[in-house]
């Protein structure tokens, strides 16, 4: 039953996101192509982070006819419209994630396996309040990323990382 609720939530999110994307394309006078909507659907009906190459391969494997150029151009539109956010975790390729209808969160990146762990910590909001009260600084957004070794890599004896203070 839980899986059905997740699927329904993905469909509901996609319908809302499709409407927002359509309004953005109309406002910016971009064409509303089936390829752009296929890319949007592939992003919003799958969980987690992705890079463009992985998304391209996944779409090819699912028999979508989308060129790399169309994928890159559409990602720019999705970034501009606020439906996707881009992360640069260390020196690996850029990672993207959907960002509408999702709770704000931060990231922990494993330096061994490159796993991305998402977490939500309410105390980050307290830091923002402190910045405003102490310095009069208004944050429009934030990015908090921890780099280290995940539990799985630590258990496998792969951790040759030591925290440097």
pLDDT (0 to 100) of residue 90: 66
pLDDT (0 to 100) of residue 102: 58
Collapse the DSSP code of 118 into the 3-class scheme (helix H, G, I; strand E, B; otherwise coil) and give the result.
strand
Domains in the chain, start-ordered, CATH in brackets?
1-102 (1.10.10.10), 103-165 (3.30.1490.190)
Burial status of residue 37 (CB atoms within 10 A of its CB: 0-12, 13-18, 19 or more): middle
pLDDT (0 to 100) of residue 45: 84
pLDDT (0 to 100) of residue 1: 45
CA-CA distance, 64 to 57, in Å (whole number)? Answer: 10
- Please, which residues bridge with residue 50 across strands? 96
Could you give the count of Cα atoms lying within 13 Å of 49 in the half-sphere of its Cβ? 21
Query: Per-residue pLDDT for the chain (165 aa), expressed as one digit of tens each?
Result: 455 555 455 556 788 889 999 999 999 999 999 999 999 999 988 877 888 999 999 999 989 889 999 999 999 999 999 888 887 776 667 888 887 655 667 778 888 887 888 777 778 888 888 888 899 988 877 778 888 899 989 887 655 555 544
**Whole-model pTM over 0.85:** no
């Amino acid at each position: 039953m839980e899986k059905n609720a997740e699927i329904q939530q993905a469909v509901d999110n996609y319908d809302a996101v499709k409407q927002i994307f359509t309004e953005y394309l109309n406002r910016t006078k971009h064409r509303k192509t089936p390829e752009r909507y296929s890319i949007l659907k592939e992003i919003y009906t799958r969980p987690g982070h992705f890079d463009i190459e992985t998304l391209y391969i996944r779409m090819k494997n699912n028999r979508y006819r989308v060129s790399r150029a169309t994928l890159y151009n559409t990602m720019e539109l999705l970034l501009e419209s606020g439906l996707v956010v881009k992360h640069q975790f260390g020196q690996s390729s850029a990672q993207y994630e959907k960002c509408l209808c999702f709770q704000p969160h931060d990231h922990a990146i494993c330096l061994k396996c490159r796993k991305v762990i998402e977490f939500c910590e309410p105390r980050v909001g307290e830091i923002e309040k402190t910045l405003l009260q102490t310095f009069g600084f208004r944050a429009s957004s934030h990015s908090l990323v921890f780099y280290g070794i995940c539990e799985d890599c630590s258990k496998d004896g792969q951790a040759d990382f030591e925290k440097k203070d």
